[in-house]
Chain A
Amino acid sequence: MSSRRSRSRPSSGVSRISEDQIIDLVSKLQQLIPEIRNRRSDKVSASKVLQETCNYIRSLRREVDDLSDRLSELLASTDSNSAQAAIIRSLLME
């Protein structure tokens, strides 16, 4: 990313060390975002990763909202508790 990095300089740099860490963390984030992961392009700018991260978090929150809505309606119609045991069992087995 930055070609100005010079490792010969003595630790004037907590900032030097952090830069590597930041690049490392950004690339880890990259792996987590399906948008970027599926595109199979290696060169993604940090700015793009941050943007996609924000978009991804927002879309996940929207999904939680929609699922809350769906569960709310479903809760009204189901009447048996036996479904719960089945759910827990299947969740534990994944």
Chain B
Amino acid sequence: MTSIYQINSATRIRFARRFLISLSRMRRASTLGPPSDEEIRTRTRRIRIVSYSSMAFAVGSSRAWSRALVLKIRNRARFRGILRNKCLASKKKRVIKRHKVSREMSKTDMLRRLVPGGAGMGICGLLEETAHYMTCLATQVKVMQSIADHYSK
């Protein structure tokens, strides 16, 4: 088994590149003058989505979790305009429910919910995907942190 807990620097660079390109696109598209609170909130949401999608695309089809995430993103983009309000409403309900159920849910089930595509995996696959997913998340955080640090100088 190749090192499941070390993603190579190529993935990290691919992620950083995609993410930075998306960020600069966002900046170019921003309106003149100071942005409103609403605009900042929208941009925060976009940056968050771009962060996850950049990583998913950087990993590509080599992992089950990234494949599942890419699929989800593509499907979401397709229905974004039509179902947006509906999704936001149902999302709120889902979050509240999750807190009630989590105590009765097994830890494996909790993990399945956290890892993209986890629902359809056997326990071995789930643990492998989890390790890789966690490493990618940690890389996401590190790269975003250094970008933020650079921008704050």
**Which of A50, A67, A75 is in CB contact (< 8 Å) with B27?**
A75
Question: Chain B at the A interface: mostly helix, strand, loop or mixed?
Answer: helix
Given contacts A75-B27, A87-B150, contact A68 B141 (CB under 8 A): no
Chain B residues positioned under 8 Å from A5 (CB to CB)? none
Distance between Cα atoms of A22 and B124 in the complex (Å)? 6
Query: Can you report 20 A-B residue pairs in the complex whose CB atoms are below 8 A from each other?
Result: A25-B127, A25-B128, A32-B134, A47-B107, A54-B111, A57-B137, A60-B137, A64-B140, A67-B141, A67-B144, A67-B145, A68-B45, A71-B23, A73-B40, A74-B148, A75-B47, A78-B151, A83-B150, A87-B150, A88-B16
Which residues from chain B sit less than 8 Å from chain A, CB to CB?
A: 4-5, 9, 12-13, 16-17, 20, 23-24, 26-27, 30, 34-35, 40, 43-45, 47-48, 51-52, 107-108, 110-111, 114-115, 123-124, 127-128, 130-131, 133-135, 137-138, 140-141, 143-148, 150-153
